[in-house]
């Protein structure tokens, strides 16, 4: 019961964070140079046309009144429409968010499937040439920016080998290259973290005790060491998932992946305030919820943290 | 060969007839011609809709859907061609459709094109083939304004969503628009897909891989040169008419002095830039409108690269060298590269050019509000010489026009009133409110499956209506 109360308390803390993000985004958007009316009507529109459009968009109201109106609509689940395309923003989000979600989950899966086994192998071979090789490769992968790794993967797997499409969202195989671009970098981080964490655990007294009791090395590793070593991974995975859901802007742009990151950048360039505002809200909400879920998962996995204040 | 066929077949977006995939840097935003302003939307709309008028090679207005006459200086009468063109939903294009299109445009409060027609007082249709426009004041350029695609009246009345489901009478009809736009050529049913691929390297890789059949423009010159060396890919270049320039704030200290503006012109080696870092067929510009335009001036001489003369001019204007100028540009890689070249060239003339690269929204807002000393931009698709008045007329500071640099010149204003184009271009060239740079060459790159495609001088995509595939491939 206490545990449920703590969970509800945690979820309740999401609201002030999201409200803060809303306020900040709204204020920043109204501070940056560039006016949607100028973008829509061009420079030669008459002041009367300009004023009429401002009134239509509600931009003639004081900023606080605009914000109040925006919050009221939001409470009714109405994000408004895109200034440029007149498309309902909910429709844009419904198209973009699942694309980002699928990409994030696939990238995270690649990261986990590659990173954790490599990290374990590296820890078990610590000090040997295999460990050195894994360390070298993972450090290089972690250092490669997406704008470089993405085109390299395209060149190798799409142009030279012809196995995968260069970009787009035309078929199931289209996701592999953008997911690899994100996932390989993530796997490098997970490899390093797993290696370090496992090496620490393997030096603990209770592992020595388990070995002294005559347990097989395999049982020591799987039953005792790995469970403890992978606990910090929950935090790392949660943070990374949050970042991925926030939209991998560069990867989505390079691979023509119509996700939330690409939508956000396009809307900022076009000063499409309502779309930017909605994207930031969704991204912030995703990030905060994933982090809360990570904390809750951590409490569940590690009983020691349940009573922590 | 078999493998190639399988590979190409795998790249077709759908089964069925052969398709053409056109990789574009920017997808269209709004396919309602009453609203569209971005280049991609306007280029697609030229394929979807027909207009009352078109422009010839010298940018003179010529009949499109209709011919016209002028009963008097305030009235224009347009006669639709017979037999009538037909809309994609089967109905013929009539005078009622033309009237409905322009009437609806005049009533819109949020269209960027409405201001062009503020002087239209009445539109009447004496018969199904004739439309008469009554104006509140004489306007000799009125036919050139009638470039809005004609929409069907019945669909306007039904508040049809033209922005996302366009219905026109052009050579292409709309099919679908989800993650990519698909049109179908009416003459033979050829599906054409417009794939938005923002990254230029990726567009090139898609062409090379066969995921795209055609690219046009928007590539840095080194990628064009790379494509020219690839087997199975043809690069077609042609002259361009889009005018690149440096805009100057003529109200700013020093820049209000014509000697300083001339010094800047002499501090830039335009020809070297064209030779080294531009695509083929790029050419030096001396005026907004190119020499082949009916209001162009082939007699203007370029300011040569003379850094010593530039220094002299600056010193004679009382400038203490080096002269520090802030140059604003967008974050586009090619624009930033050109800025660094200008910076290096101007150094020899005693000008310390400080580059400020800003995101597009901030950059353009600064340009529109006059918050700059110097900026670089390109005028795209300019057809009528009215541009000189809008850009340099003393009374055309935004929002009345595009005189963003605050240029004031009573001599030029007088010439603009008289529309003496050769004298106007000479005056502007001598006074330099803009530093002219070049008309960038146009190019298209396509796979060997395509027989021929010619890029248009203004970068439009009209040749998609003619493009054919090699029959044997």
Q: What single-letter DSSP state applies at residue A159?
A: I
A191: nearest Cα among A270, A255, A88, A121: A121
Nearest CA in chain A to B12: A170
Most A CBs within 10 A among B4, B115, B196, hence the mutation to make, goes to B115
Which string of b and e fits A18-31 if b means at least 16 CB within 10 Å? beebbeebbeebee
pLDDT at A126: 87
Same domain, B333 and B429: yes
pLDDT at A292: 84
Read off the pLDDT of each residue in A58-66 and give the average, rounded to a whole number: 85
pLDDT tens digit sequence for B431-453:
999 999 999 999 999 999 999 99
Chain A contact residues (CB < 8 Å to B): 32-35, 38-47, 49-50, 52-53, 56, 84-87, 151, 154-155, 158-159, 162, 165-170, 253-256, 258, 268-271
- Report residue B208 as tokens: 């090379």
Same domain, B197 and B273: no
pLDDT confidence tier of residue B50, bands split at 50, 70 and 90: very high
Same domain, B59 and B196: no
- Alpha-carbon span A168 to A148, nearest angstrom: 18
pLDDT at A60: 81
Which phi-psi region, left, alpha or beta, contains residue B172 (left: φ > 0; alpha: ψ -120 to 50)? beta
> Does residue B249 belong to any structural domain of this protein?
yes
- Alpha-carbon span A69 to A53, nearest angstrom: 17
More confident residue, B110 or A165: A165
User: B54 - beta bridge partners?
Assistant: B62
B13 pLDDT above the threshold of 80: no
Read off the pLDDT of each residue in A256-260 and give the average, rounded to a whole number: 91
Q: How far is CA A213 from CA A78, A216, A217, A302, B145, in A?
A: 63, 9, 11, 25, 91
pLDDT confidence tier of residue A227, bands split at 50, 70 and 90: confident
Same domain, B422 and B296: yes
pLDDT confidence tier of residue B9, bands split at 50, 70 and 90: very low
More confident residue, B2 or B470: B470
Identify which of A50, A166, A271 has the shortest CB distance to residue B399: A50
B2 pLDDT above the threshold of 60: no
Same domain, B448 and B431: no
Q: How far is CA B112 from CA A37, A212, B116, B376, in A?
A: 10, 81, 9, 23
> Does residue B1 belong to any structural domain of this protein?
no
More confident residue, B102 or B2: B102
Same domain, B322 and B255: yes
Q: CA A243, A244, A247, A251: dihedral to nearest 10 degrees?
A: 120
Residue A43 to residue B196, Cβ atoms within 8 A: no
Residue B205 to residue A166, Cβ atoms within 8 A: yes
pLDDT tens digit sequence for B16-30:
448 999 999 989 988
Which of B153, B186, B212 finishes a domain?
B153
Beta-carbon count within 10 A of A248 CB = 27
B376 pLDDT above the threshold of 90: yes
Same domain, B347 and B425: yes
Q: Which residues on A lie below 8 Å from B399 (Cβ)?
A: 43-47, 50
pLDDT confidence tier of residue B11, bands split at 50, 70 and 90: very low
Residue B163 to residue A256, Cβ atoms within 8 A: no
The least confident of A47-61, A159-173, A194-208 is A47-61
Most B CBs within 10 A among A95, A256, A257, hence the mutation to make, goes to A256
Residue B365 to residue A35, Cβ atoms within 8 A: yes
Read off the pLDDT of each residue in B33-58 and give the average, rounded to a whole number: 93
Percent pLDDT > 90 in chain B is: 81
Q: What single-letter DSSP state applies at residue B139?
A: -
| The total number of structural domains that make up chain B | 3
Read off the pLDDT of each residue in A84-91 and give the average, rounded to a whole number: 86
- Alpha-carbon span B295 to B291, nearest angstrom: 8
Q: Which residues on A lie below 8 Å from B211 (Cβ)?
A: 165-168
pLDDT tens digit sequence for B253-303:
999 999 999 999 999 999 999 999 898 899 999 999 999 999 999 999 999
Q: Which CATH number fits domain A94-305: 3.10.50.30, 3.90.1280.10, 3.20.20.70, 1.10.3720.10?
A: 1.10.3720.10
pLDDT tens digit sequence for B383-410:
999 999 999 999 988 777 789 999 999 9
- Alpha-carbon span B430 to B423, nearest angstrom: 11
Mean pLDDT for chain B? 92
Percent pLDDT > 70 in chain B is: 96
- Alpha-carbon span B469 to B131, nearest angstrom: 40
- Report residue B211 as tokens: 């995921």
Cα within 13 Å of Cα(B300), Cβ side: 27
Same domain, B257 and B370: yes
pLDDT confidence tier of residue A44, bands split at 50, 70 and 90: low
Q: Which residues on B lie below 8 Å from A269 (Cβ)?
A: 359-361
A252 pLDDT above the threshold of 60: yes
B131 pLDDT above the threshold of 50: yes
* Cβ proximity of B170 and B46 under 8 Å: yes
Read off the pLDDT of each residue in B95-123 and give the average, rounded to a whole number: 91
Question: Regarding beta strands B323-329 and B283-284, do their DSSP bridges make them parallel or antiparallel, or are they unpaired?
Answer: unpaired
> Who's near B407: CB < 8 A, 6+ residues apart?
B250, B392, B394, B431, B433
> Does residue B161 belong to any structural domain of this protein?
no
pLDDT confidence tier of residue B130, bands split at 50, 70 and 90: very high
B454: nearest Cα among B463, B445, B446: B463
Residue B361 to residue A53, Cβ atoms within 8 A: no
pLDDT confidence tier of residue B8, bands split at 50, 70 and 90: very low
Q: Which residues on B lie below 8 Å from A256 (Cβ)?
A: 195-198, 202
Read off the pLDDT of each residue in B191-212 and give the average, rounded to a whole number: 93
Identify which of A253, A258, A269 has the shortest CB distance to residue B199: A253
CA distance A92 to chain B (A): 11
Read off the pLDDT of each residue in A167-171 and give the average, rounded to a whole number: 86
Chain Cα centroid distance, residue B142 = 20
Q: Where are the domains of chain A?
A: 2-75, 94-305
A125: nearest Cα among A207, A198, A211: A198
Nearest CA in chain A to B400: A44
Cα within 13 Å of Cα(B310), Cβ side: 24
A220 pLDDT above the threshold of 90: no
pLDDT at B473: 43
B12 pLDDT above the threshold of 70: no
* Cβ proximity of B17 and B189 under 8 Å: yes
* Cβ proximity of B446 and B215 under 8 Å: yes
Backbone angles phi, psi at A158, to 5 degrees: -100, -50
pLDDT confidence tier of residue B94, bands split at 50, 70 and 90: very high
- Alpha-carbon span A257 to A32, nearest angstrom: 27
Can you spell out the DSSP letters for B222-254? HHHHHHHTSTTEEEEEE---PEEEEEE-TTSTT
A265 pLDDT above the threshold of 60: yes
Same domain, B229 and B81: no
Report the first-to-last Cα separation within chain B, whole angstroms.
10
Question: Regarding beta strands B130-135 and B120-127, do their DSSP bridges make them parallel or antiparallel, or are they unpaired?
Answer: antiparallel
Most A CBs within 10 A among B203, B209, B232, B367, hence the mutation to make, goes to B209
B445: nearest Cα among B22, B79, B121: B22
Q: Which residues on A lie below 8 Å from B114 (Cβ)?
A: 45, 49
Cα within 13 Å of Cα(A69), Cβ side: 12
Read off the pLDDT of each residue in A282-300 and give the average, rounded to a whole number: 85
Same domain, B139 and B61: yes
Q: How far is CA A172 from CA A102, A113, A176, B23, B31, in A?
A: 11, 19, 8, 20, 29
Read off the pLDDT of each residue in B30-40 and give the average, rounded to a whole number: 89
Q: How far is CA B359 from CA B41, B329, B338, in A?
A: 21, 9, 16
> Does residue B134 belong to any structural domain of this protein?
yes
Same domain, B234 and B305: no
Same domain, B305 and B448: no
- Alpha-carbon span A163 to A178, nearest angstrom: 14
B271: nearest Cα among B290, B285, B261, B260: B285
CA distance A138 to chain B (A): 26
Question: Regarding beta strands B181-185 and B172-177, do their DSSP bridges make them parallel or antiparallel, or are they unpaired?
Answer: antiparallel
> Does residue B124 belong to any structural domain of this protein?
yes
pLDDT at A41: 65
Residue B109 to residue A53, Cβ atoms within 8 A: yes
> Does residue B266 belong to any structural domain of this protein?
yes
> Who's near B12: CB < 8 A, 6+ residues apart?
B18, B19
A208 pLDDT above the threshold of 90: no
Long-range Cβ contacts of B81-87 (<8 Å, 24+ apart):
B82/B129, B84/B129, B85/B50, B85/B169, B86/B169, B87/B152, B87/B167, B87/B168, B87/B169
> Does residue B11 belong to any structural domain of this protein?
no
Residue A45 to residue B115, Cβ atoms within 8 A: yes
Backbone angles phi, psi at B248, to 5 degrees: -120, 145
pLDDT at A46: 61
Domain boundaries, position B262: 243-439
Residue B202 to residue A159, Cβ atoms within 8 A: no
pLDDT at A221: 84
Q: Which residues on A lie below 8 Å from B109 (Cβ)?
A: 49, 52-53, 56
* Cβ proximity of A233 and A193 under 8 Å: yes
Q: Which residues on A lie below 8 Å from B205 (Cβ)?
A: 151, 154-155, 158-159, 166
B338 pLDDT above the threshold of 90: yes
B209 pLDDT above the threshold of 50: yes
Identify which of B118, B208, B368 has the shortest CB distance to residue A43: B368
Nearest CA in chain A to B7: A162
CA distance A146 to chain B (A): 13
pLDDT at B10: 42
């Amino acid at each position: 019961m206490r545990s449920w109360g703590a969970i509800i308390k945690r979820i309740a803390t999401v609201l002030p964070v999201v409200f803060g993000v809303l306020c900040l985004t709204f204020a920043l958007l109204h501070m940056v140079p560039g006016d949607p009316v100028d973008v829509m009507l061009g420079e030669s529109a008459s002041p009367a046309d300009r004023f009429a459009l401002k009134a239509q968009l509600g931009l003639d109201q004081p900023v606080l009144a605009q914000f109040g109106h925006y919050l009221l609509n939001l409470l009714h689940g109405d994000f408004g429409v895109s200034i440029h395309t007149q498309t309902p923003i909910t429709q844009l989000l419904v198209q973009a968010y699942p694309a980002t979600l699928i990409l994030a989950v696939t990238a995270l899966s690649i990261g986990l499937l590659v990173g954790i086994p490599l990290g374990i192998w590296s820890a078990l071979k610590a000090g040997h040439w295999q460990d050195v090789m894994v360390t070298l490769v993972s450090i290089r992968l972690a250092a490669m920016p997406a704008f470089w790794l993405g085109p390299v993967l395209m060149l190798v797997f799409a142009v030279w080998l012809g196995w995968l499409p260069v970009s787009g969202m035309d078929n199931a195989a289209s996701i592999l290259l953008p997911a690899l671009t994100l996932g390989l970098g993530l796997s490098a981080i997970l490899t390093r973290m797993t290696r370090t964490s496992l090496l620490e655990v393997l030096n603990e007294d209770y592992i020595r005790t388990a070995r002294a009791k005559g347990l097989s090395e395999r049982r020591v590793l799987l039953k005792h060491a790995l469970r403890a070593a992978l606990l910090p991974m929950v935090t790392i995975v949660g943070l990374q998932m949050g970042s991925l859901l926030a939209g991998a802007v560069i990867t989505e742009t390079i691979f023509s992946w119509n996700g939330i990151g690409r939508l956000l950048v396009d809307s900022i360039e076009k000063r499409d305030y309502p779309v930017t505002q909605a994207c930031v809200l969704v991204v912030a909400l995703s990030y905060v919820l994933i982090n809360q879920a990570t904390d809750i998962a951590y409490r569940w996995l590690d009983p020691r943290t349940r009573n922590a204040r | 060969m078999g493998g190639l066929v399988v590979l190409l077949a795998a790249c077709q977006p759908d089964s069925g007839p052969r398709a053409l995939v056109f990789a574009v840097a920017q997808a269209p935003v709004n396919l309602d011609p009453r609203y569209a302003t971005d280049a991609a939307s306007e280029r697609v709309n030229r394929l979807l809709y027909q207009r009352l008028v078109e422009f010839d090679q010298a940018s003179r207005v010529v009949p499109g859907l209709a011919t016209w006459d002028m009963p008097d200086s305030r009235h224009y009468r347009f006669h639709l061609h017979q037999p009538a063109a037909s809309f994609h939903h089967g109905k013929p294009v009539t005078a009622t459709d033309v009237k409905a299109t322009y009437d609806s445009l005049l009533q819109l409060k949020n269209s960027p094109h409405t201001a062009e027609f503020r002087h239209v007082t009445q539109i009447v249709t004496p018969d199904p083939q004739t439309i008469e426009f009554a104006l509140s004041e004489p306007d000799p350029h009125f036919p050139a304004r009638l470039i809005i695609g004609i929409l069907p009246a019945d669909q306007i009345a039904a508040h049809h969503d033209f922005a996302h489901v366009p219905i026109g009478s052009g050579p292409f009809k709309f099919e679908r628009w989800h993650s990519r736009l698909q049109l179908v050529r009416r003459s033979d049913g050829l599906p054409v897909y417009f794939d938005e691929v923002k990254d230029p390297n990726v567009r090139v890789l898609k062409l090379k891989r066969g995921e795209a059949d055609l690219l046009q423009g928007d590539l840095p010159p080194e990628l064009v040169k790379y494509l020219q060396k690839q087997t199975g890919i043809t690069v077609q270049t042609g002259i361009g008419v889009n005018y690149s320039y440096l805009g100057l704030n003529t109200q700013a200290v020093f820049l209000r002095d014509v000697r300083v503006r001339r010094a800047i012109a002499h501090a830039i080696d335009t020809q070297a830039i064209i030779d080294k870092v531009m695509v083929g067929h790029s050419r030096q510009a001396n005026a907004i409108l190119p020499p082949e335009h009916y209001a162009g001036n082939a007699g203007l001489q370029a300011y040569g690269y003379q850094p010593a003369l530039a220094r002299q001019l600056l010193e004679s204007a009382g400038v203490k060298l080096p002269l520090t100028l802030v140059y604003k540009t967008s974050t586009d890689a090619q624009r930033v590269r050109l800025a660094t070249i200008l910076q290096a060239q101007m150094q020899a003339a005693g000008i310390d050019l400080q580059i400020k690269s800003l995101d597009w929204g901030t950059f353009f807002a600064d340009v529109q509000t006059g918050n700059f000393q110097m900026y670089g931009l390109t005028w795209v698709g300019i057809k009528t010489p009215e541009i000189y008045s809008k850009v340099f007329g003393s009374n055309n500071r935004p929002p009345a026009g595009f005189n963003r640099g605050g240029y004031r010149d009573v001599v030029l204003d007088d010439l603009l009133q008289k529309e003496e184009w050769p004298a106007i271009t000479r005056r502007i060239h001598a006074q330099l409110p803009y530093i002219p740079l070049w008309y960038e060459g146009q190019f298209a790159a396509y796979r060997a499956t395509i027989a021929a495609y010619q890029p248009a001088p203004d970068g439009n995509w009209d040749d998609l209506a003619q493009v054919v595939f090699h029959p044997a491939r």
